[in-house]
Amino acid sequence: MLAYVIRRLLYALPILLGVNLFTFVLFFGVNSPDDIARMQLGAKYASPAAIERWKAERGYDKPMFFNPDRAGLAKLTDTLFVDKSLRMFTFEFGRSDDGRDIAREIRDRVGPSFAIALPTFALGLFAAITCALLLVFFRATALDFWGVVICVAMMSISSLFYIIGGQWLVAKLWMLAPISGYAGGLDMTRFLSLPVLLGVVAGLGSGTRWYRTIFLEEISRDYVRTARAKGLSELAVLFRHVLKNAMIPVLTTVVVTIPSLFLGSLLMESFFAVPGLGSYTIDAIRSQDFAVVRAMVFIGSVLYIAALILTDLSYTAVDPRVRLG
Amino acid sequence: MSIQPVLLPTDLLVFVLVLCAAALAIHARRQPPLREAWLRVGEHPAAMAAASILLVFALIGLLDSLHYRPQLPPGKDAAAKTVYSSEVSSALDALLAPLRAQTEKTYSAPFARRLFQRETMETPDGGQTRGFPRLQYGARHLQDGDSLPADVAMRLAWTPFAALAVSGCALLALALAVARGRACRPGEAIRLILAGRTALAWRPALIVLFAAALLAAAVAALGPHYHMLGTDKVGQDVLYLSLKSIRTGLVIGTLTTLIMLPFAAALGIAAGYLGGWVDDLIQYVYTVLNSIPSVLLIAASVLMMQVMIDTHPQWFDTAAQRSDARLLALCAILGITSWTNLCRLLRGETLKLRELDYVQAARAFGASTPVILRRHILPNVMHIVLITVVMDFSGLVLAEAVLSYVGIGVDPTTISFGSMINMARAELAREPAVWWSLVSAFVFMLLLVLAANLLADAVRDAFDPRLRRNR
């Protein structure tokens, strides 16, 4: 087990290195630092001197990969690539354009982000699987048919409408929850209940439909017929046999949905003014703070790869046949 | 008045896409298995209705892709050469000219006579009062005592007949075609179609046509006299904005796949068939791209594209060209982030096909690798390509709205569902709420995406051999 985890972590390294190189090329190759400085300063004020000053203040005044002015190893290390990109592996992200320490901001904001993303994820999975089992239980009836129709309709509604509509209805008209905001401690549940609820509802349609297909595939297997033949009730078959055996394809699906968590938290945090990583990213995008966006791309990939490894580990929990080693 | 046609890059690609679709349709007619699969799609009533709705949307989008620059009215000097407006219009703009031109001061509700906001007005005796002024264009022909519903009903009186006439003509044409195919009398064919007993589900298609004709007639009857869906913050007609948004959504949904398709197909098949270091390299590239959460990758790329466009203003003559370039770049960026999925699927399928007897036989006969890939592998993975294309479409339309909200979507001057939602969202907090922009965007988007989802399901059911076996 431990050997497996270590091996997976080692596999992740070249991928993270690729991400790192890719973002570096994207942020420094497509537009030179001069271009970025010119745009940040505005065309009117972008004299060559001002551009140089802007670059020097932010440490952009080095060569990209090779610094001929230095001696020895510093020829390679005193460059933009090492300074701005490779250094992210040690979680040093430098300063944002408004001078704050990015790593510190990220540390402060990880908590609220997880507080909103994890319940949304867990409850969403639970709700979708419950609805899917319900539809499978009533398969080939009117309930199943209309359930699928509703699922397709729910899939076709942009998540923006769920958020805007929910915020307007629940928070403004019914006044059941605060419209937006965030607080630590016990107050957190008051502020987070609505965004979590909306996140669950927004993902319910596609999730239910997808898990329904998985369960339906599973229910036509031989072992299910055997279970019924020995006289088990349909409920016992569904919960004791089908659900357990479907966990592997379900977990595989979960991997696919992890990236959408990022988008979800981006929207939720910005609509509900939660001080998490998502709203940080949106603010950075709107103020064109490239250092922050670059750091977020890296952090996002790290989190995604970590989530992948965790799901792989969870295979052992649901299927005793799977041995990792 | 003469016009100067303008071909924006996305227009060009849209027409290329239409040509591709036409070529594919001709190809599918000739190939019995493809023909059979498409006929299976057509048997689905929901799929036929969805396809008809999408056709209506596509027609609007195509009209909106015929761009031109109108001639400016000649100045005093008649000998001067003709000058064209720097503003690019489209055929749809010309059709909706009254809707486009009749802008109010600010918000007004659907079918309103008066502005949504109070203003200081002059009274006839010279004093000033606060009140809701009459709209400049909306319902201006009505006197204060006139009944609005009566006027609307009167103007709508002819529309059902027009819609009936249009769908009646379509029914006749269809009946003739069906009658020829079944060797029965046209009257019999009409009865079959209306009873919904034809092989292809024509009845839902006709119902959609009737509804579309009715709506078009209603817009023609009421559009110039009322703001049917109200006006937005700067007084633009919301109906006009909604119709213009359709093209943006369609372009993003289709061109993204068109751009990424050749790369995904070539790389996926090459990785699966060639194996070895090619496979390793391609797998590494898509694993890396896949590990970046797509919204962050899109954000980073769009920001970089913005810098590029901002620092090179000399590339674009008109504002329309700039926003069009941005739209195209957004499609390319979305393509870069979404090709990995298709590439992975194609690689897996090619791995399976490579070991099959017929490919081995082709290799034994000495067929070269490019020939095997083109003639033996590619046609047999096309169903995956097709299914991915139709399944991705609705997701891309939805993604556009979200990205525009986040600020990394289309150019702010491009009318799109995302920008409509973005403008309207803050106004729900007003008392009373300004709901019409949001509701219009919601309805139009729901129709488009729901139709796309339904059609995608039918296409997947018809083309996926795995699902067919299960049935």
ipTM: 0.87
pLDDT of residue B447: 93
Q: Is the pLDDT of residue B5 over 70?
A: yes
**Nearest residue, CB atoms, B288 vs list A18, A262, A286:** A18
Q: Is A29 on the interface with B (CB under 8 A)?
A: no
Residue percentage of chain B with pLDDT more than 90: 24
Alpha-carbon span B449 to B252, nearest angstrom: 13
pLDDT of residue B321: 84
Buried b (16+ CB within 10 A) or exposed e, B46-75: bbbbbbbbbebbbebbbbbbbbbbbeeeee
pLDDT of residue B51: 92
**B-chain residues near A296 (CB < 8 A):** 296
Q: Which of A30, A189, A216, A18 is nearest to A115 (CA)?
A: A189
From chain A residues 54-93, the ones with a CB under 8 A of any chain B CB are none
Segments of chain A with pLDDT less than 70: 43, 324-325
pLDDT of residue A244: 87
Alpha-carbon span B459 to B441, nearest angstrom: 27
**Nearest residue, CB atoms, B292 vs list A19, A161, A267:** A19
Sign, CA torsion B273/B395/B449/B15: negative
Tell if the CB–CB gap between A18 and B284 is shorter than 8 Å: yes
Query: Tens digit of pLDDT for each residue in A18-77?
Result: 998 888 888 887 877 887 777 777 767 778 888 888 788 777 777 777 777 777 777 777
pTM across the whole model: 0.90
Other residues' Cβ atoms within 10 Å of the Cβ of residue B196: 12
Alpha-carbon span B169 to A69, nearest angstrom: 80
**CA of B409: how far to CAs of A187, A303, B295, B306, B312, in Å?**
35, 25, 11, 11, 19
DSSP B101-152: H---SS-B-TT-SB-SS-EEEE-TTS-EEEE-PBPSSTTTTS-TTS-HHHHH
Tell if the CB–CB gap between A270 and B406 is shorter than 8 Å: yes
Query: Tens digit of pLDDT for each residue in B293-313?
Result: 888 888 889 888 888 887 777
pLDDT band at B468 (very low <50, low <70, confident <90, very high): low
pLDDT band at B52 (very low <50, low <70, confident <90, very high): very high
Is the separation of the CB atoms in B205 and B48 below 8 Å?
yes
**CA of A141: how far to CAs of A133, A136, B358, B461, in Å?**
14, 10, 43, 20
Other residues' Cβ atoms within 10 Å of the Cβ of residue B447: 17
Interface test with chain A among B304, B334, B434, by most A beta carbons within 10 Å: B304
Q: How many residues does chain A have?
A: 325
Region B62-85 average pLDDT:
76
Is the separation of the CB atoms in B182 and B189 below 8 Å?
yes
pLDDT band at B181 (very low <50, low <70, confident <90, very high): confident
Is the separation of the CB atoms in B248 and B256 below 8 Å?
no
- B284: Cβ contacts below 8 Å, ≥ 6 apart: A14, A15, A18
- Is residue B89 helix, strand or coil? strand
Buried b (16+ CB within 10 A) or exposed e, A81-107: beebbbebeeeebbbbbeeeebbebbe
Give the gap in angstroms from C-alpha A325 to the nearest C-alpha of chain B: 22
Interface test with chain B among A285, A287, A297, A309, by most B beta carbons within 10 Å: A285
**Nearest residue, CB atoms, A155 vs list B289, B428, B453:** B453
**A-chain residues near B306 (CB < 8 A):** 288
State residue A150 phi and psi, 5-degree precision.
-65, -40
Give the gap in angstroms from C-alpha A232 to the nearest C-alpha of chain B: 25
Query: Tens digit of pLDDT for each residue in A40-56?
Result: 777 677 788 888 887 88
Tell if the CB–CB gap between B303 and A290 is shorter than 8 Å: yes
- A129: Cβ contacts below 8 Å, ≥ 6 apart: A207, A211, A243, A250
Burial of A164 per CB tally in 10 Å (0-12, 13-18, 19+): buried
Alpha-carbon span A190 to A33, nearest angstrom: 45
**CA of A229: how far to CAs of A55, A223, A237, in Å?**
75, 10, 11
pLDDT of residue B78: 56
Query: Tens digit of pLDDT for each residue in B361-418?
Result: 998 998 888 899 888 888 888 888 888 888 889 989 998 888 888 888 888 888 899 8
Alpha-carbon span B190 to B179, nearest angstrom: 9
**A-chain residues near B311 (CB < 8 A):** 31, 35, 38-39
Q: Is A197 on the interface with B (CB under 8 A)?
A: no
- Residue with tokens 């630092």, as numbered in its chain: A33
pLDDT of residue B122: 77
Q: Which of B95, B111, B397 is nearest to B252 (CA)?
A: B397
The three-point CA angle A280-A281-A285 to 5° equals 120
- A283: Cβ contacts below 8 Å, ≥ 6 apart: A289
**B-chain residues near A15 (CB < 8 A):** 284, 287-288, 291
Average pLDDT, chain B: 86
Q: Is the pLDDT of residue B470 over 50?
A: no
Is the separation of the CB atoms in B202 and B174 below 8 Å?
yes
Alpha-carbon span A195 to A193, nearest angstrom: 6
Tell if the CB–CB gap between B446 and A157 is shorter than 8 Å: yes
- Residue with tokens 């271009």, as numbered in its chain: A35
HEC string of B238-294 equals HHHHHHHHHHHHHHHHHHHHHHHHHHHHHHHHHHHHHCHHHHHHHHHHHHHHHHCCH
**CA of A267: how far to CAs of A294, B122, B218, B291, in Å?**
19, 46, 37, 20
Query: Tens digit of pLDDT for each residue in B259-276?
Result: 889 889 999 999 999 888
**Nearest residue, CB atoms, A263 vs list B402, B417, B425:** B402
pLDDT of residue B471: 42
**A-chain residues near B446 (CB < 8 A):** 153, 156-157
| Tokens standing for residue B54 | 């999408």
